[in-house]
Amino acid sequence: MHIPPEATAPPPPLDCARHAVFLDFDGTLVEIAPRPDAIVIPLDLPAQLATLSDACNGALALVSGRSLPELAGYLPGYAGLMVGSHGAEARGMAPPLDQAPNGLARLQADLAAFAATKGLLYEEKTHGGALHYRQRPDAAAEVASFAAALAAQTPGFAVQPAKMAMELRPAGVSKDRALAALWALPVFSGRIPVFLGDDTTDEPALGWAAAQGGFGIKIGDGDSCAAYRLPDPAAVQDWLANARGAQWGV
Ligand SMILES: [Mg+2]
């Protein structure tokens, strides 16, 4: 079920005593940049996440499509739960995927070569790679068909569409599966799940939170199954800063 933007409401306040908080990264906590390596991390974001995680007794996790080491590198000072590569990598729990499927090096070489030929940005990931066409939007269809063909000839990998990008990632990993794995951790026991995400890749996770008796918050425009919506990462930071039960600046 999709709820149009005009029918969605601002979310209720975050309650550190009751909620479990699951956060996407790009487009949710930080503004999307022309290049994935050009994002600007709000200065107080790592400390804010660390404070919130403490206030929630550790019931907070980042769930991103980025590689885990890259994500961790952007957030020094936040040592809590983290899932990377759409669920293939994790910090603070057993990694959902021990190693990438066979054929990773060849797949990454094919992606890099295609990007070089077409003037696209190639982003290598731990378990796959992404083709970014934000600077060449005219190449969208060509990128999609190349990615589909590459997935078809590389068993164990699947296409992951994202905002102005096509990614090849291990088949069978997804953010909602990552959430289900996190949910088994004792730290989340008895809490109400809340997931925040901005992209089509986040829709199953937004739906998962609602199915578990919690709710999703869609960031930005576009169709979503989420009951609530915030306009941008700055609004997300404000919402987090107004959490009940967090002690700031002490
Ligand atoms: Mg995102």
Q: Could you tell me the CATH number of the domain that includes residue 177?
A: 3.40.50.1000
| 118 and 18 belong to one structural domain | no
Ligand 1 geometric centre to CA of 46 (Å):
17
24 catalytic? Reply is yes
Whole domain around residue 15: which residue ranges? 7-97+173-241
- Phi-psi group of 222: left, alpha or beta (phi > 0 → left; psi -120 to 50 → alpha; rest → beta): left
Structure tokens at 180: 């289900």
Task: Evaluate whether residue 131 is within a structural domain.
Answer: yes
pLDDT for 162 equals 87
What is the full DSSP assignment across 33-92?
-SSGGG----TTHHHHHHHHHHHTTT-EEEE-SS-HHHHHHH-TT--SEEEEGGGTEEES
Task: Evaluate whether residue 50 is within a structural domain.
Answer: yes
Would you call 175 helix, strand, or coil by DSSP? helix
d(CA 41, CA 96): 27
**Out of 24, 26, 110, 199, which one is annotated catalytic?**
24
Task: Evaluate whether residue 159 is within a structural domain.
Answer: yes
* Domain final residue pick, 170, 192, 224: 170
Quote the pTM value. 0.90
* Domain final residue pick, 131, 152, 170: 170
Ligand 1 geometric centre to CA of 64 (Å):
7
Rounded mean pLDDT, 164-191 = 94
Q: Residues for the chain: how many in total?
A: 250
Specify the CATH number for the domain of residue 146. Answer: 3.30.70
Tens of pLDDT, residues 8-31: 678 999 999 999 999 999 999 999
The number of folded domains in the chain is 2
Percent helix, percent strand, percent coil in the chain, to nearest 5: 35, 25, 40
pLDDT for 132 equals 96
Tens of pLDDT, residues 89-135: 999 998 777 778 899 999 999 999 999 999 999 999 989 999 999 99
- b/e sequence 69-101, b meaning 16+ C-beta within 10 Å: ebbbebbeebebbbbbbbbbbbbebebbbeebb
| 157 and 220 belong to one structural domain | no
| 115 and 230 belong to one structural domain | no
Structure tokens at 120: 């696209």
pLDDT for 219 equals 96
∠27-29-30 over CA atoms, to 5°?
A: 60
Ligand 1 geometric centre to CA of 250 (Å):
30
* Domain final residue pick, 149, 170, 191: 170
| Short-list 8, 98, 74, 55, CA closest to 248 | 55
pLDDT for 2 equals 65
pLDDT for 4 equals 63
| 90 and 183 belong to one structural domain | yes
Task: Evaluate whether residue 250 is within a structural domain.
Answer: no
| 19 and 77 belong to one structural domain | yes
pLDDT for 124 equals 93
Ligand 1 geometric centre to CA of 147 (Å):
20
